Chain A
């Protein structure tokens, strides 16, 4: 079983839709969870960062962590064409020298 699983998509939605992106993981030591957005031929950009379980909201983006289920989600409300990108989840454990374990990314297209 891979440490982090992420559905690669592609996911195509109409403008204004609510998008749900998800990752599952197997390592119960993961405590730090991140979502990155990567536009084509660019470097990943940090979107959301959460510690342990719970929700975090930033504008149209909400990150959720459910450690009991080893499941994290990113919700995008009122999706825009500019949200079209690959979304990568990443996570880390205490004592890991700050190394991240990444999912392989989900390609999202928001159609006008």
Chain B
């Protein structure tokens, strides 16, 4: 079974802090994705990576950056957290079109 793990289930941070969300997959997948999920807005793609060190912006990249130094690990960085970044963050990985999701990180920015 594909396993995608995320570093924290719940996280509380202060406005202006730099926040790192980590995602690790164990299936040697080429593609990895970061989404945020908000009520009424659904899943929105922030960034994705289709190879180590290769990344592309998704639909809502503003305020975020990513890092993929190793194939199995994809990190989402909030350079200076703001209250409007309070959300559920979901990581996914895939080899083809089927994406497999992690359990999510519920981030609250105060």
Q: List the interface of chain A (C-beta within 8 A of B).
A: 32, 34, 36, 41-46, 49, 88, 90, 92, 97-100, 102-105
Main secondary structure of the interface of B (DSSP, over half): strand
Q: Which residues of A lie under 8 Å from residue B101 when comparing CB positions?
A: 36, 43-45
Given A98-B31, A103-B42, A104-B40, A42 and B97 touching (CB < 8 A)? no
Q: Which residues of A lie under 8 Å from residue B104 when comparing CB positions?
A: 41-43
Given A43-B102, A44-B101, A98 and B90 touching (CB < 8 A)? no
Given A42-B104, A43-B90, A43-B103, A98 and B96 touching (CB < 8 A)? yes
Q: Which residues of A lie under 8 Å from residue B28 when comparing CB positions?
A: none
A105 to B106, CA, bound (A): 19
A18 to B90, CA, bound (A): 30
B42 touches A98 (CB 8 A): no
A98 to B49, CA, bound (A): 10
Nearest CB of B to A42, in Å = 6
A103 to B41, CA, bound (A): 9
Nearest CB of B to A51, in Å = 8
Q: Which residues of B lie under 8 Å from residue A92 when comparing CB positions?
A: 97
What are 27 A-B pairs at a CB distance below 8 A?
A32-B97, A34-B98, A36-B101, A41-B106, A42-B103, A43-B90, A43-B101, A43-B102, A43-B103, A43-B104, A44-B101, A45-B101, A46-B98, A46-B99, A88-B43, A90-B99, A97-B48, A97-B50, A97-B56, A98-B94, A98-B99, A99-B45, A99-B48, A100-B97, A102-B42, A102-B43, A105-B42
